[in-house]
A and B are shown apart, each in its own frame.
Chain A
Amino acid sequence: MKKFLPYIILAVFCAGIILFPVKTADEVFRIEFTGNENGVLEGTDCTLYYSTLSPDAFNDDQSISCPVDNEKYYVEFRLDGELNNNIKGLRIDFPAEDQLFCVGGVFVKSAGVLKKRYDPCVFFSEENLKQANDIQGVSPIRDGKVVYIRTGSEDPYIVFSDALVDDVSGHFSHYIITKLLICAVIIVCFFSYKKDIFGLYKNGRNKEGNIDMTEGGEA
């Protein structure tokens, strides 16, 4: 029994880490714009509206604004972890400017890890757009995997289809892989300590356990 005790403690410790309750990670939804002269987005900010089970409507209380920063070439929206399994609809409002811009990438991240990268041509394809208001044109360039969007100056926004919303909002992380990695580190350390691959501990150490630095010491 004594022989197995370290293994039992290790197993319990790892189980504790895996079962330890942590808050669901936020999900980051990012749209990247290409930086060429026709692609840069003008305006002050973009806003992402989300509808939930209750209320199932877009309103200002359920919106996230992101300032347009053309040094970064992207807008990013952080959906709180508490919205996991609760998002029913997504609507993105572009700046009210008569302009043409180019979307070069769309991706979703959670817990600092890229969860899904969308092809902008697919993301902004007709079947994924439930409603488009004051959007004068969406032109995919499939070879370059970019999409050009022309907006008007009234109230340009896009409401995404239910299927796409389910897909986008289904990537909230529960830190499972992170927890498994922490356990892996602990387990490897445990066995590394037991195995002592480089063996210096057995050879050339003094009684205190330090490398024997005295004259004639092996190390």
Chain B
Amino acid sequence: MISITKKNNSDLFVYIAFGFLVAFITYTYVISELSNGYSDYSGHAYIYLPYFFSGSTLAEGFKAVPYCMWHLITLFFYKVLNIALDPSAAYTSCIFAVFSYGVGCFMIDKICKRYGAGYSAVRTAFLSTAFYIAQPLYFYWIGRGERFTGVYSPNPFHNPTLMCARGFSLLAFCLIVDIWGVQSSSEYKGLFFRTEKGLKKYYIYLAIVLFLSAMAKPTFAECFIPAVGIIMLVRLFKAIFKRKGKEYSKHFLNSFLCAVPTLLYIFLQFGAYFLLGGSYGSDDSRIIITRFGEVWSMYSDNIPLSMLLGMAFPIYMVLVDTRFFLKEDQGKLALTVYGIGFLQAMLLGESGGKLAHADFIWPMMSGMLLMYAVSLLRLISMEAGLNKVSDPLSELGSVSDQKSDLRKKIIVAGGWILFLSHVLCGVLFLK
């Protein structure tokens, strides 16, 4: 009993230590970005945040930046605790960074427990930190030449609001995976949560988490809700075909109700943004359908190449385990979210001068985040499966079995190499 407590305490210390590392990385990065007048951080801290005070009303602030979670918390540090603006902005980002790191640890830990991967706290915390840092592959002689021009990231550090939504996005994903699991089988044992006692509270959690993600930045909900809707609609039709439509329509309705507050909030945001003349003061801005890839082409000479650099690890995982991404709930959801985000990036834009802002690329980055998360979780489960196969008895197996094991080991090793290459690019980016 004493040794278990000691182990738990040392695990907690490891998680906290890595959490401080994440906070330190975020703090130094935000402070350095704030000194760059053209950075997103400067824009949000020095231009949009003052809308919430300095003679303006909260309503004016909301009109200018309807996704105001980062701004309100920064405002709390700045106005209520009287901390200078730069550290206030950095502290806010640190809070959300540590939160999303914590969600990453939670996801990895749950997957390890489910598949018997037996990861130590150090390994779990390291992987969650690495997942937070991972950036697109970068070679100066590929692409536009400037770092990340046209190659987008699952962790766009330079944007305070999308990073603010990161933790909520991952939590919403975990919740829907378990909700779907219970919906498909009453005997389902939750992967991330204890769903044995019913789904009622998880539906409420999902509604809250989705709403908070939209409050941080609506881009995740903009592709997550349609993706969940499409997948569930297909299932509903299948259920109707199998004469189980009545039962499944209840699940469909419950899930839809979770999305209603968020949808209303997004409509309110869009109204403030496009109808009331928010949109960073651009009066003529409205949503338009562009030529396929018109906006992305402004920043990339070769969109498939940009996708490859940004998504090398998830693409590799899709290549080696296509069936997982087409048949499995987690993979299917991540792929659909990315697909919807990709279509938004390729087809939507804002009219006038704001076309170049490429604001509909953000949902795709939320999709990239889920693709990375699912790929990492899948890689962990693959490795765990491999370790189970590699017991001494397997030596008695046939030559073809051993060859198959070797091939699997090479595939898993390739996955880790690619993932860590993304992490290395992230470290070099932050350096």
Contact = CB atoms under 8 A, between A and B. Distances in A.
Main DSSP-derived SS at the B contact region: helix
Interface stretch (A34-42, A45-53, A120-128, A203-211): A203-211
B189 A211 contact: no
A185 interface: yes
B192 to A, nearest CB: 10
Interface string B370-413: 00000000000110010000000000000000001001100100
B111 to A, nearest CB: 11
Interface string B125-165: 00000000000000001111100001000000000000000
Interface string B179-190: 011001101111
B320 A192 contact: yes
A189 B301 contact: no
Nearest to A206: B185
Contact of A210 (B115, B181, B320): B181
Interface in A11-57: 25-26, 28, 30
B327 interface: yes
A194 to B, nearest CB: 9
A198 B144 CA distance: 37
B114 interface: yes
A112 B323 contact: no
Given A210-B328, A213-B188, A200 B385 contact: yes
Contact of A192 (B143, B188, B322, B329): B322
Interface stretch (A93-101, A155-163, A174-182): A174-182
Most chain A beta-carbon neighbours within 10 Å: one of B190, B300, B319: B319
B304 interface: yes
Contact of A201 (B191, B301, B327): B327
Contacts of B315: 185
Most chain B beta-carbon neighbours within 10 Å: one of A178, A182, A190, A208: A208
A25 B114 CA distance: 48
Interface residues of A, number: 38
Contact of A188 (B319, B327, B407): B319
Interface in B310-362: 315, 318-324, 326-329
A185 B329 CA distance: 22
A192 to B, nearest CB: 4
Interface of B: 114-115, 141-145, 150, 180-181, 184-185, 187-191, 300-302, 304-306, 308, 315, 318-324, 326-329, 381-382, 385, 404, 407-408, 411
10 contacts: A109-B145, A110-B301, A112-B300, A114-B141, A173-B302, A181-B308, A188-B319, A193-B323, A201-B324, A210-B181
Given A185-B315, A193-B322, A198-B321, 19 more contacts: A25-B302, A30-B145, A109-B301, A110-B301, A114-B141, A178-B302, A178-B304, A192-B321, A192-B322, A198-B324, A198-B382, A200-B324, A200-B385, A201-B327, A209-B327, A210-B180, A210-B181, A213-B188, A215-B187
